Amino acid sequence: MSPPEISVLLVEDDLMVRGWVRLALDGSEFRLAGEAASTAEAVELWRRRRPQLLLVDYRLPDGPGTELVRDLRLLGVTEPAVLMAANLERGFNEAARDADAQGSVLKTGRIEELLQALRTVAEGGHAFDLRHPKRAPGRAALSPREREVLRLVAGGATNREVAAALQVGGETVKTLLARTFAKLGVRRRAEAVSAAHDRGLL
Amino acid sequence: MTGDAARNDATGELDRRLSAIAHELRTPLSVIIGYAELLRIRDDEQTRREAPVRIQEAAERLTAVIEEILARPALPEGRE
């Protein structure tokens, strides 16, 4: 008897990659429940199809895949998620874990690597590709508060505006920013925003 | 901007650009490897029909990416 099918939502903006994943999963226990090319489409498709597993590219046109997984978790989505990346990225697995994904897979074109990662997370395990270099020591994950500050700064807010938005004092904002800079290993606001984007923290 | 800050900016920009270039190159490469592997391990009609077409498309895209990279300046103007 063949194993029961597991429905997968594929979130990937590249048509070529989508075509390959579609064919690679064909004949396996995984069935594509839908294909989304952006985070917005993914949320919409998840609502309609309720897939059992999420396979999400990291670089999406309207935001990083880590942010999509984080948003879906806030919507109550508990299904396992695997994040895909084309490059080896320092701290990628930690960023994926911080977003509450269960695995990461490199887009190497190796079918068995993809299937193995999907099988592991479908069975409740974790499947992080250990070829991604670890996050630099001392670069702890940003707290929700620090991420909020960074998000406001990325939108162009001044310290005073951040303080007003979060209803905290100016000194608190400075402390939060200093801690964020230290965690990201940067010294200026623009660098912090850029580093946070690169690592999928925003 | 201090000299150190300017150097950090330039290094950061170069890192980001190299990462983007690697991404642009690796994506079609992984598609070529992926379809080639499917051709090697499967013998169904759909794979035999689809894989060669996709491999050719990915190879053409790779060529276009390389040409685009070669047409760009190595570093932003004014930076050495």
Domain locations in chain B?
A: 3-71
CATH topology of domain A6-122: Rossmann fold (3.40.50)
> What pLDDT shows up at residue A192?
84
Asked whether the beta carbons of residue A17 and residue B54 sit closer than 8 angstroms, the reply is no
pLDDT at A202 over 70: no
User: What are phi and psi for residue A92, nearest 5 degrees?
Assistant: -65, -45
The two structure tokens encoding residue A68: 């999509």
Distance from C-alpha of B16 to C-alpha of A41, rounded to nearest angstrom: 27
In 3-state terms, what secondary structure has residue A50?
A: coil
Asked whether the beta carbons of residue A87 and residue B23 sit closer than 8 angstroms, the reply is yes
Q: Which residue has the tokens 């948003």?
A: A71
> What pLDDT shows up at residue A30?
97
Distance from C-alpha of A18 to C-alpha of A30, rounded to nearest angstrom: 14
Using a CB–CB cutoff of 8 Å, tell me whether A15 touches chain B.
no
* Cα-Cα-Cα-Cα dihedral sign, residues A133, A137, A138, A140: positive
Distance to chain B for A120, nearest Cα, Å: 21
Per CATH, the number for B3-71 is: 1.10.287.130
A contact residues 93-152, partner B, Cβ 8 Å cutoff: 107-111
Using a CB–CB cutoff of 8 Å, tell me whether A171 touches chain B.
no
Asked whether the beta carbons of residue B34 and residue A19 sit closer than 8 angstroms, the reply is no
Distance from C-alpha of B40 to C-alpha of A115, rounded to nearest angstrom: 17
Q: Determine the residue of chain B that is closest to A90 in CA distance.
A: B19
Asked whether the beta carbons of residue B26 and residue A87 sit closer than 8 angstroms, the reply is yes
CATH 1.10.10.10 residue spans of chain A? 144-198
Residues 6+ apart with CB under 8 A from A151: A202
CATH architecture of residue range(s) A144-198: Orthogonal Bundle (1.10)
pLDDT digits (tens, 9 = 90+) for B6-59: 666 666 677 778 888 998 999 999 999 999 999 999 989 999 999 999 999 999
Residues 6+ apart with CB under 8 A from B15: none
The answer, yes or no, to whether ipTM is higher than 0.90 is no
Q: List residues bridging with A21 in a β-sheet.
A: none
The two structure tokens encoding residue B72: 């760009």
Asked whether the beta carbons of residue B33 and residue A86 sit closer than 8 angstroms, the reply is no
Distance from C-alpha of A123 to C-alpha of A134, rounded to nearest angstrom: 25
CATH 3.40.50.2300 residue spans of chain A? 6-122
Size of interface A-B (CB pairs under 8 A): 73
Split at pLDDT 50, 70, 90, the class of B72 is confident
Ordered DSSP codes for A64-86: EHHHHHHHHHHTT--S-EEEEES
Asked whether the beta carbons of residue A87 and residue B37 sit closer than 8 angstroms, the reply is no
pLDDT digits (tens, 9 = 90+) for A158-179: 899 999 998 888 888 888 888 8
